[in-house]
Amino acid sequence: MSLITNIIRPEILDLSKYHVPDSTGFVKLDAMENPYTLSPQLQQALAQHLAQVALNRYPVPSYAALKTALKQHFGIPAHNDVVLGNGSDELIAMVSLACAKPGAKVLAPIPGFVMYAMSARLAGMEFVGVPLRADLTLDKLAMLAAIAEHRPAITYLAYPNNPTGTLFEVADIEQILHAVGDSGIVIVDEAYQPFAQASFMPRLAEFDNLLVMRTVSKLGLAGIRLGYMSGNQALLDEFEKVRPPYNINVLTEATAEFMLEHVAVLDLQAAQLREQRSLLAAALSRLPGVEVFPSAANFLLIRVPQAEQVFVKLLKQKILVKNVGKMHALLENCLRITVSTPEENSLFLDALSASL
């Protein structure tokens, strides 16, 4: 249809839709969701809290109380402010929009989080992917060479990385921050911080070009869509100009404020998932032919013979994991499994044993 080609940008025509499989009736281990729900008492209290929300009013776009609570509970330095996003996906989109000068580039290790490349392309920027090493650790020398060659406006480092679970070396990240200098920003994406228990947030004052991005999604609140980013105030002021003024809706705001008062519940769930991660990794590595990569996140990346067939056999047993084998050559025969409850983990283990 010529109407479409007349008006839609060619780089959008080239994209395919972000595919989310229908997971009804499945044990859902594909999206790094927290499997636990709230207790009935907490659900009741939350319902009462939400019933008070003024749905007829626009949110107050300063989100001052929410920001204060986020800063207190998530260890953001007192001098640093935060920018809020409708999930960190929106923060990534905002940064791209703000930095998309003609010729500006975005750089990240690959395989990595797909939204970095996606958002760069949507904003009309070139994406430069720097392959990890075969053991899925960061190739620091290749990163430094690519930074020198491309002078990227934005460098993303997911800490730990998705879909590999790798926690890159602190010294490598420091060197990248210095190499980028004032020609670009380095976004350390700490989506899995509750499971990594390592962070660059306390180090913001050391680097003018460092931004730390987080989300409440993996902690157990994926449905409310809330991300936050901190860093140098002059940068945050620019990103604030790009932020849609009411991007955090009143229900998200009220739910987040309520849950931050009860954040111990979520912290306990994260601790349980960290423990389950160790148990699941140990059990998987005892299975013949299964290679388990080290993970600091709430998922495990494994390599199995004939991963494509194993994936299909798991589906037949109503278990949905993520088949990442086609994402990148380094991930050949790899599957990514979200760590879940002891019950779901053992359902998965049994199904996998029967599928190998």
Ligand X SMILES: *Cc1c(COP(=O)(O)O)cnc(C)c1O
Q: How far is CA 105 from the centre of its chain?
A: 21
Which of residues 59, 227, 231, 325 is near ligand X by CB under 6 A? Answer: 227
The least CB distance from residue 355 to ligand X, in Å, is 26
- Which one of 71-79, 83-91, 137-145, 288-296 is the stretch in contact with ligand X (CB under 6 A)? 83-91
Q: Are 151 and 105 in contact (CB under 8 A)?
A: yes
- Does 191 sit near ligand X (CB under 6 A)? yes
Q: Give every CB contact of residue 18 below 8 A, 6+ residues apart in sequence.
A: 118
Distances, alpha carbon 158 to alpha carbons 101, 187, 296, in Å: 24, 8, 11
Ramachandran angles phi, psi of 130, nearest 5°: -110, 115
- Cα separation, 205 vs 275, whole angstroms: 33
- Does 338 sit near ligand X (CB under 6 A)? no
- Does 89 sit near ligand X (CB under 6 A)? yes
- Cα separation, 291 vs 304, whole angstroms: 7
- Which one of 10-18, 67-75, 84-92, 135-143 is the stretch in contact with ligand X (CB under 6 A)? 84-92
Q: Which of residues 98 and 221 has its CB atom nearest to ligand X in the complex?
A: 221
Q: Which of residues 249 and 317 has its CB atom nearest to ligand X in the complex?
A: 249
The least CB distance from residue 87 to ligand X, in Å, is 3
- Which one of 75-83, 214-222, 263-271, 324-332 is the stretch in contact with ligand X (CB under 6 A)? 214-222
Report the helix count and the strand count for the chain, using DSSP H and E: 14, 13
**How many other C-beta atoms are found inside a 10 Å radius of the C-beta of residue 30?**
20
Which of residues 97, 222, 315, 330 is near ligand X by CB under 6 A? Answer: 222
- Does 220 sit near ligand X (CB under 6 A)? no
Which of residues 193, 217, 269, 298 is near ligand X by CB under 6 A? Answer: 217
Q: Which of residues 32 and 173 has its CB atom nearest to ligand X in the complex?
A: 32
Number of residues counted as binding ligand X (CB under 6 A): 13
Touching ligand X, residues 92-131 (CB under 6 A): 113
Site string for ligand X, 26-65 (x = CB under 6 A): ------x---------------------------------
Q: Which helix (H) or strand (E) holds 230?
A: strand 227-231
Touching ligand X, residues 143-162 (CB under 6 A): 158, 162
The least CB distance from residue 258 to ligand X, in Å, is 18
Q: Two tokens at 2?
A: 């010529």
Q: Two tokens at 242?
A: 């790009």
Q: Angle, to 10 degrees, between the axis of helix 87-99 and the axis of helix 233-242?
A: 100
- Cα separation, 90 vs 84, whole angstroms: 9
Q: Give every CB contact of residue 99 below 8 A, 6+ residues apart in sequence.
A: 123, 125, 153, 154, 185
The least CB distance from residue 215 to ligand X, in Å, is 3
Angle at 193 between CA 127 and CA 245, to 5 degrees: 65
Rg (CA), the chain: 21
- Does 215 sit near ligand X (CB under 6 A)? yes
The least CB distance from residue 82 to ligand X, in Å, is 14
The least CB distance from residue 323 to ligand X, in Å, is 17
Q: Give every CB contact of residue 215 below 8 A, 6+ residues apart in sequence.
A: 87, 88, 191, 226, 227, 228
Q: Which of residues 108 and 128 has its CB atom nearest to ligand X in the complex?
A: 108
- Which one of 60-68, 87-95, 118-126, 315-323 is the stretch in contact with ligand X (CB under 6 A)? 87-95
- Binding positions for ligand X, rule: CB under 6 A: 32, 87-89, 113, 158, 162, 189, 191, 215, 217, 222, 227
